[in-house]
Every structure is written in structure tokens, then in C-alpha cells.
Amino acid sequence: MRNVSYGTDHHDYPAVDVFGCKALVIAPTSSTVAQISTVDRWPGSGNNPAYRGGHFVSLIGADGVRYYFAHLADVDVVAGQFVTTGTPLGVMGQTGNAANSACHTHFGISWPCPGKEWQVRRGKIWPQKYLDAWRNGEQLSPVDEIAQVEGAEPDACAIAMADPDAGLS
């Protein structure tokens, strides 16, 4: 993670774009791979938000937090696989709606929803302070912040899963 960079904000929801083209994307904590996409359905999708992530990996950490990595060039894990901190998940790329932008990985932190959806998965808290801590070898957990935000948005998963495009992601 030392050869990558990221900003202090993101356009219209809490997440971060990490830049470092072709960098290895690694698991931030011991996790189970909840969902992957190895098919880029973005081209020709008519800007369908369910397909914006292109190739992606979604993890559910042993801490109960969901970690989402999108726009990968390659996905090196399978759904159901257990990974430990530092396990390679894939390679940073330009899939999904990153096809015509700088090579990067979209990173979002959220709570897991019981069904397929994209609105919560893409990010619900700002991840920069966690990335900063992990980069410096510190163990900073987003568990408390996730619990606070989830408590303030108790219907977020139900709303997200009710979206007509939720099952596409």
C-alpha cells in the first residue's frame, strides 16, 4: 500500500478512490469473500449503477464489516474463500465506469446487507482514516463507526435491495 495514493474526499458519498495502477489489492483484515464479479457489464449498460464497479471483490471481515474493492483488472479470489490480512484479492484496474478514467480501485466500507444490492456496498463511512492507520501499521477498526451509521440508517439495506437493479450486482 506504500506505492498508492488517495484523496481526502469522494464525489457524492463516503468512499475513496485509491490510485496506483496495477498495484496489488490486498485484504485489510481476515475475511470471507462474500461476492465477486469477474465480468465487466458496464460497457453499453446505459450508466446502470449496478454495473459501475466492473470487476469487484466484496469481503465480510471477521469484524462483521463489509469491505468493497471495485474496478479491478483481475480478481484472484472466489466467493466463499477465507482470506487473511494481506491476502492478494486482485490487481488495480479500469473496469466498470473507470474504463475512461485514471486506473484506480474504488474502496468502500459498509455493513453487510442480507441480499444483493449496490447502494450500501459502495460505501457508508469515509475510509481514509482507516487506510492511513493501516498504512502506518496501526490496528484501527471501523466497527464502532459502522454500528453508529447503520443505527442511523436502519432501513438502508431494505431500500437498497428494493432497487430494481439491486439483483444485477
Domain boundaries, the chain: 5-164
How do the pLDDT tens digits run along the chain, 169 residues long?
568 899 887 888 999 999 999 999 999 999 999 999 999 998 777 788 999 999 999 999 999 999 999 999 999 999 999 999 999 999 999 999 999 899 999 999 999 999 999 999 999 999 999 999 999 999 899 999 999 999 999 999 999 999 998 988 7
* Architecture of the domain made up of 5-164: Distorted Sandwich (2.70)
**Reported pTM:** 0.95
- Cβ of 3: how many Cβ atoms within 10 Å? 8
Count the Cβ atoms, other than its own, within 10 Å of residue 38. Answer: 14
d(CA 27, CA 25): 7
Nearest CA to 64 among 29, 99, 97? 29
